[in-house]
Structure 1
Amino acid sequence: MGQQEVSNDKKYNKLIVALSIIIPLAVAALFGIRIDYELPVFLPPIYACINAVTALVLVLAFIAIRNKKVKLHKLLMTFAIVLSVLFLLMYIAYHMTSDSTKFGGDGITKYFYYFILLTHILMSIAVIPFVLITYVRAITNNIEKHKKIAKITFPLWFYVAITGVVVYIMISPYY
């Protein structure tokens, strides 16, 4: 590893660690704030669609890089990050202004829902540093390390995007 790579890693690592801690804590803190303004119920299907589009974009980016279309891959991955940030902002805004919807199913469906929800939440927190590290390794042209971590990041991020849609579909009858 060259001196420049070490310098870039150290510079970005502090930011990655900070964001990986600050984002989940900020989301948790913002959930504790209640704004007396109810956003329309149509917001959850919009951010569920954003999750679906994110999953699609991730697959397209994977296909692009497999076909050595690096510029397209970079564009799609940047778009996936923008979509994820947009999702997070809308999700926080909705939950700061609206009561949480309770799942009304029972039996095995209830356990499946809560399993998917719990793994979705945990993975959405865990994926933050992976996405940031993967992105930084790409923009700093540390391609070998980028490829290594992308093999972990892609399935985690894809799982979060897909399970976000599944959670919405399962909870939507109870809105």
Structure 2
Amino acid sequence: MITAEEKKYKKWIVALSIVIPLVVAALFGVNLRRMGLDVEPLTFLPPIYATINGLTAILLVVAVAAIKRGNQRLHENLIKACMACSAAFLVMYVAYHMTSESTSYGGEGTIRYVYFFILITHIVLSVIIIPFVLFTFVRGIAGAYERHRRLARITYPMWLYVAVTGVIVYLMISPYYS
């Protein structure tokens, strides 16, 4: 049974799950420097947001370990930290792409196909994961623990994949940054 708290947040979750990818896609196409604005390219951001992805992955693993040990409070705090890291990543990622030219991957042969497979699955799952994370979180804070656990079994591996592949994508493309 859906709790009142879940009902309260459902419209917000659906709206955010649609608006966030649309805004990111729209902003991704905006480059302030090409528009003639004198802004400094934020070329220092990729290693920072890759590190944030790595931190998110570590925090997710620790959060799952915490709940398996019965430490609900630590689990909740770590998940909140993961959500904050994901939001920080998103802001930095958009800021970088609004001030810097996109970097083309320069690898050749099979590794090129591996890179694009990882990149495409990372991007697709980063969009899909938004409602999963938000619904899983709301179920947890609403006390719908069984439904939370069932959804978390799907959310956790997807979110972990997105976090880890974010680091891998950065490591694979970093030699090609100018």
Deviation by residue 1:85-136 (Cα, 9 ceiling, x = unmatched): 0000000000011000000001000000000000000000000000000011
Aligned-partner Cα distance in 2 for 1:65–1:26: 34
Partners of 2:43 and 2:13 in 1: how far apart?
34
SS of the residue 2:103 aligns to = coil
Where does residue 86 of structure 1 map in the other structure?
A: 88
- TM-score with structure 2 length normalisation? 0.94
CA displacement at 1:144 relative to structure 2:
0.9
Q: In the alignment, is the contact (CA less than 8 A) between 2:42 and 2:95 conserved in 1?
A: no
Structure 2 residue runs of 5 or longer lacking an equivalent are: 34-38
| Alignment deviations for residues 22-61 of structure 1 (CA, whole Å, 9 cap, x no partner) | 0000000111221122334221000000000000000000
Distance 2:171 2:65 in 1: 27
Q: In the TM superposition, what are the counterparts of 1:17-28 in structure 2 within 5 Å?
A: 17-28=14-25
Match of 2:36 in 1: none
In the TM superposition, 1:33-112 aligns within 5 A as 33-36=30-33, 37-112=39-114
Kept in 1, the 8 Å contact 2:42–2:99? The answer is no
3-state SS of 2:105 partner: coil
Count matched residues: 172
Where does the alignment leave 5 or more consecutive residues of structure 1 unmatched? none
Bigger CA drift: 114-123 or 8-17? 8-17
1:29 is matched with which residue? Answer: 26
Cα distance in 1 for partners of 2:153, 2:137 equals 13
Greater helix content = 1
Deviation at 1:10, TM superposition (A): 2.3
Tell me, yes or no, if structure 1 residue 10 matches structure 2 residue 31. Answer: no
Flag as ranges the 4+ runs of structure 1 deviating above 6 A.
none
RMSD: 1.0
